[in-house]
Amino acid sequence: MRRLTFLAFLLATPAAAQPVASFDWFEYRGEDPVDRAAPAPNQYRNPILQGFYPDPSVTRVGSDFYLVTSTFSYFPGIPVFHSRDLVSWTQIGNAIDRPEQLDFKQLGLSRGVFAPTIQAKAGTFYILNTCVDCGGNFLITAKNPAGPWSDPVWLPDLEGGIDPSLFFDTDGKTWILNNGPPEGTPQYQGHRAIWIQQFDLKALKTIGPRKVLVNGGVDFSTKPIWIEGPHIFKKGGWYYLSCAEGGTAEGHSQVILRSKTVTGPYEANPENPILTQRGLDADRENPITSAGHAQLVTTPDGKWWATFLAVRPYAGDFYSTGRETFLMPVWWQGGWPRITWPGQTIPWTATRPALPIPPAPPVPTSGGFTVRDDFDGAKLPPYWMMLRNPRSAWYALEGGAVKLQARPVGLGDNANPSFLARRQQHVNASAETVVRFTPEKDGDRAGIAVLQNDDYWFFLGLKQVQGRLVLAIDRREGPSMAAAGETATTLDAATFGIAPGNPLALRIEVKGNRYVFSYARLLGSPDAPMLAWRPLTQLTTDALTTKTAGGFVGSVFGMVAESGK
């Protein structure tokens, strides 16, 4: 298939005649209590990437740092970030930005691309990744980390594994690591192994025998689970193998082992784990939990730092913001690195790396902030996503608005609905938009939604029901509700002076687990003064949390249009 940019792919696919919803702008706003205390000039704030940015991998080329994270079945996938100070990050592209690179089919939203790693050598950038249930392990390359990235080169020797990464040794050899099944029959649930194999960097294929470096974890007698996310680096004549262990929930951790040879045997740090938040006081104020999946990197002056994932629950183990990217300095003692000391809590603010402080990024990623999209550019900013690969052209930027074709593909259909989304990046957040929509038949709807996955979401917008235009709140809170049909709150639109095609402002606010759904009419144009917001309803629910919904993603806000089926 001829390579197309994402925009060219859409323009090349004619749209069928369907109702079209027009959105004038979209504004996201968020601020949490910890954001109100500004860090000192020489400090930074955690998380450095708020919202659903899990499994960070970081690398340095000269004075430039590049970072990628997981996106699972969202498209475009694998965001690529750039920084000069490890604190201020700007998204420069997405590595999976052409529908033909990978096919997410109708996979669950927490399948697809897991835990990418990024490395560079001799002017070429490499991303390794696993497309779970959609092809297996693969490698893509680019000369410019902003893209374009190549089509996948598949790695069949890694079948059954995840989390591949490369290690470039000083003798010129390249090695590939991954989490995989253990040799023989697994001894318990979560029993995995870390494998190594030589890699031909010119032919882009594995060569030679595969070998297990770690069986189960650092102490097999304790039945450790999910040893994964392996990285090897070299320091002082030692090869260090850094891995996540304990699963991605509250038992998550990072462990370290070392060897005098790259293929082992590796000895474990007797003071593992080197990063965790398990075992701390559950009632501590503003907790950060589930820390792990770290990668170490050096600054140009030789200092060591680590990026890793963790979460910010609003209560217990309930969070809707997903797993986020954090940063901490790495200390060395007795030949071993350490990120947190036993009993140490991850700090919300810490001293910045000793690097020049760049100007603030155009789109903030940490602290309290507001981001407004006016849709007056030639393409969407790179942080906008959709569910799975597009199969047809269903959106366009036109006349300072984004227009969505209402298609008979819904939010809960495990498909690619007309839904454009951006991440929820704060515990306390709101999203607002203005929609213009004229439904043509029962079931046609357009508006704003907050979504955790296909089975857990809320919709607020205009809808036709029994020939009437209504302002509706549709909700799905689990697979059983999907089978029975969505529950809905509806109010006759005419009663509130809402007419088909006229602009209507919509807002969803969330504070922890409390959601408020509001609307406001506009006086004429979208630039005219807005009438006061009117709450339509509110609800309290933990449905949009990972604890309830399952999976590995976080909530997103977005614009949606659907036609009746």
Which residues, 6 or more positions from 20, have their beta carbon under 8 angstroms from its beta carbon? 403, 404, 405, 406, 561
Question: Structure tokens of 278?
Answer: 């398990």
What does the DSSP 8-state code read for residue 42? T
Answer with the residue of higher pLDDT: 492 or 347.
Answer: 347
Q: Tell me the pLDDT tens digit for each residue of 219-252.
A: 999 999 999 999 999 999 999 999 999 999 999 9
Q: Please give the pLDDT value at position 554.
A: 98
Answer with the residue of higher pLDDT: 523 or 255.
Answer: 255
Averaged over 431-453, what is the pLDDT?
A: 96
Averaged over 416-435, what is the pLDDT?
A: 98
Rg (CA), the chain: 24
CA distances from 200 to 131, 150, 176, 384 (A): 21, 17, 10, 36
- Percent of the chain whose pLDDT exceeds 70: 95
pLDDT grade for 529, boundaries at 50, 70 and 90: low
Averaged over 143-159, what is the pLDDT?
A: 98
Which residues, 6 or more positions from 97, have their beta carbon under 8 angstroms from its beta carbon? 5, 6, 76, 77, 147, 148, 149
Q: Tell me the pLDDT tens digit for each residue of 278-315.
A: 999 989 999 999 999 999 999 999 999 999 999 999 99
Bridge partners of 547? none
- Beta strand 205-215 with 238-245: parallel, antiparallel or unpaired? unpaired
Count helices and strands (H / E) in the chain.
3, 40
Averaged over 127-149, what is the pLDDT?
A: 98
Q: Tell me the pLDDT tens digit for each residue of 260-273.
A: 999 999 999 999 99
Task: Give the 3-state secondary structure of residue 532.
Answer: coil
Q: Please give the pLDDT value at position 497.
A: 79
Is the predicted pLDDT of residue 420 greater than 60, yes or no?
Answer: yes
| Residue boundaries of the structural domains of the chain | 32-351, 369-562
Is the predicted pLDDT of residue 375 greater than 90, yes or no?
Answer: yes
Q: Does domain 32-351 have CATH number 2.40.30.30?
A: no
Residue 228 bears catalytic tag: yes
Q: Please give the pLDDT value at position 480.
A: 80
Rounded CA gap, 19 and 243, in Å?
50
Whole-angstrom distance between the N-terminal and C-terminal Cα of the chain? Answer: 32
Rounded CA gap, 335 and 239, in Å?
11
pLDDT grade for 490, boundaries at 50, 70 and 90: confident
For residues 210 and 157, is the Cβ–Cβ distance under 8 A?
yes
Q: Please give the pLDDT value at position 140.
A: 98
Catalytic-labelled residue, pool 24, 32, 35, 228: 228
Helix, strand, coil: what percent of the chain each, to 5?
A: 5, 45, 50
Is the predicted pLDDT of residue 492 greater than 90, yes or no?
Answer: no
Evaluated on CA atoms 394, 72, 249, 478, the torsion sign reads positive
Cis upstream peptide for 54 (omega within 30°): no
Bridge partners of 74? 387
Q: Please give the pLDDT value at position 498.
A: 85
Is the predicted pLDDT of residue 459 greater than 80, yes or no?
Answer: yes
For domain 369-562, give the fold: Jelly Rolls (2.60.120)
DSSP string, 291-329: EEEEEEEE-TTS-EEEEEEEE--SBTTB-SS--EEEEEE
Q: Please give the pLDDT value at position 483.
A: 64
Catalytic-labelled residue, pool 24, 32, 35, 55: 55
- Percent of the chain whose pLDDT exceeds 90: 89
Task: Give the 3-state secondary structure of residue 8.
Answer: helix
Is the predicted pLDDT of residue 2 greater than 60, yes or no?
Answer: no
Is the predicted pLDDT of residue 158 greater than 80, yes or no?
Answer: yes
Is the predicted pLDDT of residue 257 greater than 80, yes or no?
Answer: yes
Q: Which residue has the tokens 């995995």?
A: 192
Q: Please give the pLDDT value at position 496.
A: 76
On average, the pLDDT of the chain sits at: 93
Rounded CA gap, 10 and 13, in Å?
5
Q: Please give the pLDDT value at position 12.
A: 44
> What are the two backbone dihedrals, phi and then psi, of residue 105, each rounded to the nearest 5 degrees?
50, -130
Does the pTM of the predicted model rise above 0.75? yes
Residue 454 bears catalytic tag: no
Q: Which residue has the tokens 């859409």?
A: 10
